Each structure stands twice: as C-alpha cells, then as structure tokens.
Structure 1
Amino acid sequence: MDEPPTTAAAPTGEDGGTAVGAEGFGMEGPRGWVFREVGFHAEPGSLIAIEGPSGSGRTCLLLALTGRMKPSEGHATVGALRLPKQMAAVRRVSALAHVPGVTDLDPALTVGEHLRERALLQRRFDGSLRGLLRPRRERVAEAEGRIDAALAAAGLDRASLPKGERTAVRDLDRVEALRLSLALALIGRPRLLGVDDTDLKLSEAERAETWALLRSLTEAGTTVVAVCSEAPEGALVVSTAKKNEAGTDTGAGTEDEAEPRTGTEAAAEADTETGGKPDAGAEPDTDTDTGAGPHTKTASQADRGDDDKEMGDAIAETRLA
C-alpha cells in the first residue's frame, strides 16, 4: 500500500474541541429501545469510539450526540450545551462524515465539484452579512483556504488522484472516499466531528491508517466521535452492546426494531415530537451546521445488512437540521 499523505492540523472552530458527556442517555421507539443508559465523559480533543455489533444503536447514538436525533430519556452535554434542549446549537458546532443514508456523495460528481459546493454552502448559510458583501476575490480566496486546510487535515491530496480534482467519486477507493467525506465536514471547522462506519470493510492496514488520521484530528483539537465494530487502543469506548441479566454481551441490539423519536429545531426547543422524511444531506435545504456536504456510501445496502434496516428505521421519522 502506498504511504498515506501527511496530515496537517485540523481546521477546528475558534474555541478548539469540546467536552462531550452523557448521563442516563437513551432513545426509545414504538418497537423498543434503540439504546439506553449510556453514560460517559470525554475531555475536549478526545477520540470517542462508539463500539458495538451491527444493529445495536451505534449510528443513532452518534446522531443523538451531534444533535440530529432526539433522545427519549437522560441528557447529554456538548461543551456548555445540553441535549435535547439545545439540539440546534449543538448542530452548529458539530459536523457529520461518512454516514450512509444521511451524508451521501453523488458518485457522478467530481471531488472538486463536491468541495466547491460545500464551500459555497458554508459561506452562504454560515457567513455573516458583511462577509457576503466582501469583494468576490476575497470570498474565493477564503473558500480556497478552507478547502486546502480541510484536505490537508483529512490527508487527501488532489494531485495524487487519477484525474486530480476532476476524479469522479465513483473512482475513489474506500479510504479515499472516507478522507473526502472528512474533508467536506472539516470545511465547516467543527468542534465536534461525528464519523460513522469508521472500519467498515477496511483491511487491517486501512483501519490502522484511518484511526491514525482520526487521532491526528484530535491532536489538533477537534473532538471526534467514531462508530466502529472494534475500538482502537487508547480511545474512550462507549459500548452499545446489549447485556443480559447476567451482565454478558448478547451481541444483539434492538435498533433495527425501533423507530426513535426525533425532532426539528423547533421541536427540539419545545421538547415535542415531530417527524418527516430526512433530507439525506441535501445541503440547500438544510443548515450547514450539519457539517455534511453530499457524501458517498462506501458499501452497498446489501453489504450493510442490519445497519441498513437500522438506519431505515432509525431515521424514518427524523428531520435533519
């Protein structure tokens, strides 16, 4: 395998990473508990691994901690922000990457097209009025600076791709697609970064490469929450594996049997239930605080197995901000 590109400091928010914690955190749907009694505390710049078998609630927990899904009990904190009351505020300081069904890339578009679209949306929805009125040359220079910093942090070298930034997403390998997904999320300079399916269908060497990349982001200050089947050494592990009365892992979850309650920004503040079809990462119809430009699946639905049904059930009534 070729040696991976050198990563640079992650383009974090002005205040760096953020502390993340949960106490008695749970999500219930009409057909059962998705996850329950989750509790942990992580300092800013931590690598948090959500570990568990497929279908055990890993992705839903990731979305709940980043303010995209509404919990049913307990609470979580992201810095000074409290979930579920301040879901909208949490979305503004967090970003998502590599979440199938939520942050999909268009395989027909090129790497450059995705990056420019994400930078444009970032400026359009997150920029100040004064920033929007700046000369075009300054706006373009800032967008290029954000893109370059995000690519460097994600370790994706456009020049190394088969056709440079004109390479279509369908021609990227799994690790390259993951790096692009991370770069798109990092354009928003989040304090909290959520990554799904971190080690799905990767070789041992590719997994080591991916975890090294995520560690480099935490060392630069960004707090990272990553879903995985097996956590790396040194990470703060949050397990979603269900346990029987004897306290042993059953290896089975109920996420694929539940439709967790989630809400829109208004519903989050009012603490009421809401529903609707997810926007699936369609940036023009969402706040860019999701931090997820259009991303790609790195595995087919057939390959994902239980996780497909997990996401189908889990976000069937979810409205992404």
Structure 2
Amino acid sequence: MDSPHGAAVKAEGFGLKGPRGWVFRDVGIDAAPGTLIAVEGPSGSGRTCLLLALTGRMKATEGHAEIGRHRLPKKMAAVRRIAALGPVPGVNDLDQALTVAEQLREGAMLQRRYEAPVRALLRPRGAHRAPAPARIEEALAVVGLDPAALPKGPRTSVRDLERLEAVRLSVAIALLGGPRLLALDDLDLKLSDAERTEAWDMLRSVAARGTTVVAVCSEAPDDATVVRTGPPAESAPAPERAATPPAVTPEVTWGASRPAEPEAGTEPGEKAAAPSLTQPDAKPETKPDDTEAADRTGTGTGTDADADAEDDTKGADDALAETGRA
C-alpha cells in the first residue's frame, strides 16, 4: 500500500439546504494534512450529510470547501478520487453474507477495477503498485485487525464480527486504495468506553501515516480538531403548567330537574301516555256501534247508567258494582 500524503481540509460558510430547511450551515474548517477531524453533534444534526459533502458524495448549496487543491462543490468527482469512505451505514455497508477473507478480496478487486487505470498514469515511471495480498496485509496491520485471531479465522462471517472488528475491517478496505482523506460515520456507535478508546487509537495511527481522517462521533477526543453541527445546546426553562381550576359544584335547579308529577289515574311507576302531536286537545270520539254494544251489555248507557249518574255520593266502586263490571 502506498504511503499517501493527506489532503488539507478547508471550508468557509459551508452549508446544505434541503426540502425541509437547512441540514447544516455556516461550517468552517481549517485542518492541515494528516489531521484527525471529529465531527461532533447529536443525531439528526446533519453530521452524516456534512461528511458526504466533504467527500464529494453530496452537493453543498452554500459556501465552499477545499479538499487538497480541489474546490467544492464544483470538483466533486476529483474529490471522490482522493477520498475513501470507511463505515457509513446505508452507503457502503459490509456484505453480511461474505467471510472476512472474501470481503477483503472483493475490496481489493474493486480498487483495481475502478481506480487503478487512472491513478496508474499519475505514478512515476518504474513505480509499481504492491500486489493485493501485500496491500491487504499492510492495511490490516494499520487498523489492528488480525483475521487469524477471529473465531473461525479468515473464514469468519462478516455478520459474526463484533462492532469494533467490523469498523476495523471497513477501514482496512478503505485504505486499500491509498486515499488522501478517510471519512467514517458513527464511530462510537454501540461501543463501550474501552472500545471507543481503541477506535480513536486506530484512527490516530492512520492519521500518523499521513492520511487526513474525518470521523463522525457523539463525543470527540481532546486531541482532535472538532467541528460541531447543530444549534448550541441551551437550557430552556420548563414550560409553566396552567393552574388547575377549583372544582365547581353545579347548582341544582329543581324546576328543571325534578321529575314531573304523575297524572291523575296513573298508577305509581307507570308512565303517563304522551299527548298526540297532531291533535293535543282532541277527545276520543264515540262511535254509534260502541253505544249499541254498551246498551246490549248494560255497561255504557241506558237506565242503569242514568241512575248511577244521579247519585253523586256513590264512589267509583259502587258504580261499577251496579253496572255489573265489579
């Protein structure tokens, strides 16, 4: 693997605006080659988009940046040729179906297929690229990954790697092309404190060899050049809660809520018949047929009924007894 010379990273008023507003804005960077740069900020503050913009994978909409001698956003293709991505979820994930050895061979093959023809023209005459096995071995030494120490050696499946081991493998594959800028996302995701220290030590060793490193994290180390994304944290006072109004006992109005008195002739518990909506004051009609039937039964008209009507002092029971309806 060639010993690359890192790219200086500079940015002024660098910003990206999307459909929902500013993703990041007014970013300023001035880092020399071989610097360890930490992009620090909470999740959702535009850290990954800034990382992709600095590596020529996403076009900024405000300000400018310079990666080496290439100015962004105009020279995105040129920046992509000198910048490599380490682990960036959703962009260059490792193939979980491959073994570690297969993943390394695939990475070396892709480097030779897409980058070697152009970069070979820029090398001095007589300078030859090291063979793939030698470059793989050197990259693994830089990141501190020993395939023989894995549970199944080089045949260990990528899906069985621990989080830190997967990060080392992804960085080793990125280094196979000899980039001047290495960028990786979510470095300290799902890492313990001890593993986080090991991960930063690995990136320091990469930067010490001359490669500029840009790493997204939630908490940057003290010796890194820090670029913060998102608004500054402000301790806003908790919103005041409205006072709960005292309970009010509703006033009872008996005239509206007291049940109506039952009508005369209605048994207790029995509802009075509702009046007719069409003829509320109409009285039931007496049909001739009903009168004749009453005369025949002796219950409605005739001499017995007239005698009952003349006696005002008799009660209802006596009247019923005389008419034969008791």
Structure 2 length normalisation: TM-score?
0.67
Q: CA deviation at 1:140?
A: 11
Specify the alignment match of 1:290 in structure 2: none
Specify the alignment match of 2:154 in structure 1: 165
Specify the alignment match of 2:165 in structure 1: 176
Specify the alignment match of 2:69 in structure 1: 80
Q: CA deviation at 1:121?
A: 1.4
Say yes or no: does 1:40 pair with 2:40: no
1: distance between equivalents of 2:172 and 2:152?
A: 18
| Counterpart contact for 1:19–1:79, Cα < 8 Å | yes
Say yes or no: does 1:189 pair with 2:178: yes
2: distance between equivalents of 1:211 and 1:12?
A: 20
**Pairing of 1:45-64 with structure 2 (within 5 A):** 45-64=34-53
- Distance change in 2, residues 1:103/1:202 (3 Å): same
Q: CA deviation at 1:146?
A: 1.3
1: distance between equivalents of 2:167 and 2:150?
A: 14
| Counterpart contact for 1:25–1:39, Cα < 8 Å | yes
1:220-277 CA-partner distances (Å, limit 9, x unpaired): 1110000000000110000002148xxx489xxxxxxxxxxxxxxxxxxxxxxxxxxx
Q: Which moved more, 1:51-60 or 1:139-148?
A: 139-148
- Distance change in 2, residues 1:249/1:210 (3 Å): farther
| Counterpart contact for 1:18–1:78, Cα < 8 Å | yes
- Distance change in 2, residues 1:249/1:90 (3 Å): farther
| Counterpart contact for 2:187–2:199, Cα < 8 Å | yes
Letter in 1 for 2:16: M
2: distance between equivalents of 1:65 and 1:249?
A: 31
Q: CA deviation at 1:141?
A: 6.7
| Counterpart contact for 1:22–1:39, Cα < 8 Å | yes
Find 2:93's aligned residue among 104, 110, 129. 104
- Distance change in 2, residues 1:126/1:243 (3 Å): same
| Counterpart contact for 1:198–1:226, Cα < 8 Å | yes
**Pairing of 1:192-231 with structure 2 (within 5 A):** 192-231=181-220
Say yes or no: does 1:147 pair with 2:136: yes
2: distance between equivalents of 1:175 and 1:130?
A: 31
| Counterpart contact for 2:88–2:184, Cα < 8 Å | yes
SS, match of residue 131 in structure 2: helix
Stretches of 4+ aligned residues off by more than 4 angstroms: none
Q: Please, what is the CA RMSD of the aligned residues?
A: 2.1
Higher relative contact order structure (alpha carbons within 8 Å, sequence separation ≥ 6): 1
2: distance between equivalents of 1:60 and 1:17?
A: 22
Letter in 2 for 1:74: G
Say yes or no: does 1:156 pair with 2:145: yes
Q: CA deviation at 1:11?
A: 5.0
Specify the alignment match of 2:56 in structure 1: 67
Letter in 2 for 1:95: A
- Distance change in 2, residues 1:149/1:249 (3 Å): farther
Find 1:234's aligned residue among 220, 223, 232. 223
- Distance change in 2, residues 1:140/1:60 (3 Å): closer
2: distance between equivalents of 1:12 and 1:97?
A: 18
Letter in 2 for 1:185: A
> Which stretches in structure 2 are left out of the alignment for 5+ residues?
121-127, 237-326
| Counterpart contact for 1:242–1:249, Cα < 8 Å | no
How many matched pairs?
230
2: distance between equivalents of 1:154 and 1:65?
A: 23
SS, match of residue 183 in structure 1: helix
2: distance between equivalents of 1:46 and 1:17?
A: 8
SS, match of residue 168 in structure 2: helix
Letter in 2 for 1:68: R
Structure 1 length normalisation: TM-score?
0.68
SS, match of residue 54 in structure 1: coil
Letter in 2 for 1:191: R
Specify the alignment match of 1:92 in structure 2: 81
> Which stretches in structure 1 are left out of the alignment for 5+ residues?
1-9, 132-138, 251-321
1: distance between equivalents of 2:197 and 2:42?
A: 20
2: distance between equivalents of 1:129 and 1:37?
A: 35
SS, match of residue 170 in structure 1: helix
2: distance between equivalents of 1:217 and 1:249?
A: 38
- Distance change in 2, residues 1:249/1:200 (3 Å): farther
2: distance between equivalents of 1:116 and 1:210?
A: 23
